[in-house]
A and B are shown apart, each in its own frame.
Chain A
Amino acid sequence: MKISSWQLFWILTTLEISMSIWLTVSPTIEIARQDAWISLVVAGIIGLALSWVLVKVSQRHASQTLIEFAQTLFGKWLGKLIGVLYLLVWYSVCADILRIFSLFIKQVLFHDTPMWIISMLMMIAMAYIALVGSVEAIARFSEMAGPLLLLGILITFILNISNLRLTLMLPVFMDTGAMSILKGSFVNASFLGESMMIMMLIPFVANPKKILKPVIFSICIASMLAIITAIMVVSTFGIQIGSTLYFPYFSMVRFINYLDFIQNMDVWIVFIWIFSVFVKLSIYLFINSYGTAQLLGVKKWRKMIAFTAPVIFAATLTPANLFGLLDFANLVWIRLIFPIFIVGFPIIFLFASMIRKRMLAAS
């Protein structure tokens, strides 16, 4: 059950892209207006810095998952508490994304199909890949889905060029100012912070010393695509329409009409996008199952899927509608999870781990 560092790269790239260009562009445009792209550049820099911390933390405890090394660092009970908190975050994120995915598919393809059917089909596929192939199969799958996703997105970017009105990007900076730009950057930065899952994946990487480059690279690609998407959305729809669309990238793809015969590309993009969401959800299912098993001291972690999958599925059905979910992203993810679990704890881990090493060396 080992993955190579470049497989890690594809996993991260695929799962970062899937949500960041789908959900973060329009909130950023809403705050930073035509300077959304600057916000996203700032977000990318924040994301890179965070990933560096995360990689350093993980590398210091390369043979342990977060659940284990939290206990080595802070003792059994405090460590377990931290583990529980992180698992709560990952359970909720997994349920949230599954819900967003199902609602989106319902909205664009199947109006009358009950949402839970879509969620359940996805859940079955997730449980299957986690059960039979675990992280290795997910990694291999993302090696296929990732390039496909990148290619699809690049093609849509190229075809959209004829729709652009670049004057809509002007004036730069003057309308918004530094504060709005910084404020706008948190949305995307917090989504890039999903790379915190490397703290769980590190024991499965064949060569943990070499993960810095792939991780940094994947964050770069994800934020680059988000920046291009923001520029494209602003100069296709302007800031008024661009900031109010739920899924601006998708609306942009629907708008493409190249030479009158390349149109309705949205179907293809949704098709590829489902792959990438699948990677994301199944890796979360894996992390949750494995982490819960470690926390409870269950030896055969695969058994835990029988617990995690139904729990996540049930949680998926709880929120009432799309607004509840976007509220989750705005209120819980950006205000609580981002500062505490993505920024705060990893930095504490890093310092704790350094202090511990020094203490061990001293004694």
Chain B
Amino acid sequence: MKIFRCFIICSLCSLLLTGCWDRNEINEYAFWIGTALDVTESGKLEKSAQIAIPAEFKTLKGSGGKGERANIVVSATGSSIVDLIQQIQEKLPRRIFLGHRRSIFIGEKLAHNGLVDIMDQFTRNPDTRMRTDIFVVNDGKGKDALTINSPFNQFSAIVAVHQDRYCRLGDTSLRDFLLDAGRDGIRPSMPMIDIAPVNKLEENKIIEVRAVAIFNKDLKMVGKVRDRESLELFWVKGVLKNQYVSEETGEGSISLYVSNLKRKFSTTIEGDKLKVRVKLIGNARVVENNTPIDLSVSSQRIHTERKFNKIKAQQIEATIRKIQKEYGQDVFGFGEEFHREHPKQWKKLKAQWDQKFPTIEVAVDVGIKIQSTGDIRKRIPRIGARE
């Protein structure tokens, strides 16, 4: 027993006599909210960080807002990402804390150069979290996205996450990107943001999420699709949850709010020919009707529905063909469906997937179902009705 007491006392002493290595008060931390990565003129890597300044939170709320930013953007240039973390740390009086980083912005130039070298760190570094949003900045530098001063939130990095409703990937888009990058039958895609001002009011305040960047196998950006086409891309990929669809039906335009979007692929291999049938479905609510059609009458509604779906299917087919022809990257994951349905043939197909993808025959079938005509049945006479 005596030996034991001795042992315990000794060990207790050794604990009490030493310092505390990992003591960190919260006010000694610099919270890193957003990262931007760019490539400089000379080909070096530039990293910028959006760092929170907690003291500014109060003044903004208390004094009705002086328009001061509660964050500071610091940048550094160098050759590897972690080397840059050291440089950024040297510019800050507090210890960097990466655990709260919400998004990463990548300059378009860097995206074209390829992301292979920067991706490792995001999964390896135990201080970072994989739950992060990631964007390519359209025609610009990632750094500029960090200096946006949104009136909705102090941090443009957080605004971007909230605004990523485009594909509703939100903060899982880094995971999704890495997931796609690691698979054979799909090529990664990533939401893009626009920061170029459209008018004076929006200047330096608004970011737009309205395009998607397409990457190839080596994680090099090869192209982008915008607006309607990018929504269609994400619908076919199966990540879009809802959207507004507006089409000219010949008798006027109809706008629908379509939710519960789903997609289903079925694949066939006939000799050398690969075929994919894409079935897209969704539940719609009519939000605008500029046609004389009374959508509450079933016969008319079904007719319009069919017409609408047909137009939409043609558009989506055109988009898919465009991506096949212009970029040749399987961002939809058709390959993964072949993998699932024809696992044996896939073993041969996967090596030459980039060559095969542009030759696939794709047939799109859209099945949007109008489930509600909104608050009114037919249009109120004289308000918009063409008589």
Closest to B7 in A: A306
Contact A241 B22 (CB under 8 A): no
Q: Which of B29-37, B135-143, B318-326, B338-346 contacts A (4 or more CB under 8 A)?
A: B338-346
Select which of B14, B22, B181, B182 is within 8 A of A112 by beta carbon: B22
Complexed CA–CA distance, A241 and B344 (Å): 24
Complexed CA–CA distance, A257 and B183 (Å): 25
Known: A167-B340, A174-B343. A109 touches B22 (CB 8 A): yes
What mask results when residues 23 to 39 of chain A are scored 1 for a CB within 8 Å of chain B, else 0? 00000000000000000
A251 to chain B: which residues have CB within 8 Å? 130
B178 to chain A: which residues have CB within 8 Å? 238, 240-241
Known: A175-B343, A257-B171. A110 touches B182 (CB 8 A): no
B21 to chain A: which residues have CB within 8 Å? 110, 112-114
Complexed CA–CA distance, A226 and B21 (Å): 35
Complexed CA–CA distance, A264 and B129 (Å): 10
Contact A241 B123 (CB under 8 A): yes
B179 to chain A: which residues have CB within 8 Å? 165, 168, 237-238, 240-241
Complexed CA–CA distance, A350 and B43 (Å): 70
Q: Any chain B CB within 8 A of the CB of A43?
A: no
Complexed CA–CA distance, A254 and B181 (Å): 21
Interface residues of A in 96-123 (CB under 8 A from B): 107-114, 117, 120-121
Interface centre among B15, B18, B126, by most chain A C-beta atoms within 10 angstroms, is B126
Least Cβ distance of B217 to chain A in Å? 13
What mask results when residues 264 to 280 of chain A are scored 1 for a CB within 8 Å of chain B, else 0? 10000000000000000
Q: Any chain B CB within 8 A of the CB of A170?
A: yes
Contact A117 B4 (CB under 8 A): no
Interface residues of B in 160-196 (CB under 8 A from A): 171-172, 175, 178-179, 181-183
A113 to chain B: which residues have CB within 8 Å? 21-22
What mask results when residues 287 to 324 of chain A are scored 1 for a CB within 8 Å of chain B, else 0? 00000000000000000011001100000000000000
B241 to chain A: which residues have CB within 8 Å? none
Q: Any chain A CB within 8 A of the CB of B3?
A: yes
Known: A171-B343, A174-B344. A240 touches B183 (CB 8 A): yes
Q: Any chain A CB within 8 A of the CB of B378?
A: no
Q: Any chain B CB within 8 A of the CB of A239?
A: yes
Known: A163-B172, A174-B344, A175-B343. A257 touches B131 (CB 8 A): yes
Complexed CA–CA distance, A168 and B238 (Å): 13
Q: Any chain B CB within 8 A of the CB of A124?
A: yes
Select which of B15, B18, B182 is within 8 A of A240 by beta carbon: B182
Contact B8 A124 (CB under 8 A): yes
Contact A124 B11 (CB under 8 A): yes
Least Cβ distance of A29 to chain B in Å? 12
Select which of B15, B339, B343 is within 8 A of A117 by beta carbon: B15
Closest to B172 in A: A163
Complexed CA–CA distance, A195 and B385 (Å): 79
Q: Any chain B CB within 8 A of the CB of A11?
A: no
Complexed CA–CA distance, A310 and B344 (Å): 56
Least Cβ distance of A313 to chain B in Å? 10
Contact A120 B22 (CB under 8 A): no
Complexed CA–CA distance, A309 and B11 (Å): 13
Known: A113-B22, A170-B340. A305 touches B131 (CB 8 A): no
Known: A238-B183, A241-B179, A255-B130. A111 touches B340 (CB 8 A): no
Complexed CA–CA distance, A131 and B3 (Å): 13
Complexed CA–CA distance, A223 and B107 (Å): 46
Known: A111-B22, A238-B183, A239-B182. A120 touches B130 (CB 8 A): no
Q: Any chain A CB within 8 A of the CB of B208?
A: no
Q: Any chain A CB within 8 A of the CB of B144?
A: no
B340 to chain A: which residues have CB within 8 Å? 167, 170-171
Contact A306 B182 (CB under 8 A): no
Contact B175 A254 (CB under 8 A): no
Complexed CA–CA distance, A170 and B139 (Å): 38
What mask results when residues 44 to 87 of chain A are scored 1 for a CB within 8 Å of chain B, else 0? 00000000000000000000000000000000000000000000
B131 to chain A: which residues have CB within 8 Å? 254-255, 257, 263
Contact A305 B4 (CB under 8 A): yes
Contact A131 B4 (CB under 8 A): yes
Closest to A107 in B: B126
Least Cβ distance of A311 to chain B in Å? 13
Least Cβ distance of B258 to chain A in Å? 22
Complexed CA–CA distance, A355 and B250 (Å): 92
Select which of B3, B22, B126 is within 8 A of A306 by beta carbon: B3
What mask results when residues 19 to 32 of chain B are scored 1 for a CB within 8 Å of chain A, else 0? 00110000000000
Q: Any chain A CB within 8 A of the CB of B294?
A: no
Complexed CA–CA distance, A241 and B339 (Å): 19
A111 to chain B: which residues have CB within 8 Å? 22
A257 to chain B: which residues have CB within 8 Å? 131, 171
Q: Any chain A CB within 8 A of the CB of B336?
A: yes
Complexed CA–CA distance, A305 and B8 (Å): 12
* Contacts A239-B182, A255-B175 supplied; 17 other A-B pairs, CB < 8 Å: A108-B126, A110-B22, A112-B21, A117-B15, A131-B4, A167-B340, A175-B343, A236-B175, A237-B175, A238-B179, A240-B178, A240-B181, A240-B182, A255-B130, A255-B131, A257-B131, A263-B131
Can you spell out 27 A-B residue pairs with CB atoms less than 8 angstroms apart? A108-B126, A111-B22, A112-B21, A120-B14, A124-B8, A127-B7, A128-B8, A163-B172, A167-B336, A170-B339, A170-B340, A174-B344, A237-B130, A238-B178, A238-B182, A239-B182, A240-B178, A240-B179, A240-B183, A254-B130, A255-B131, A257-B131, A263-B131, A264-B99, A306-B3, A306-B7, A310-B7
- 10 nearest A-B pairs in the assembled complex, by CB-CB distance: A240-B182, A174-B343, A112-B21, A110-B22, A113-B21, A171-B343, A170-B340, A238-B179, A171-B340, A306-B3
| Chain B residues within CB distance 8 Å of chain A | 3-4, 7-8, 11, 14-15, 18, 21-22, 99, 123, 126, 129-131, 171-172, 175, 178-179, 181-183, 336, 339-341, 343-344
| Chain A residues within CB distance 8 Å of chain B | 107-114, 117, 120-121, 124, 127-128, 131, 163, 165, 167-168, 170-171, 174-175, 236-241, 251, 254-255, 257, 263-264, 305-306, 309-310
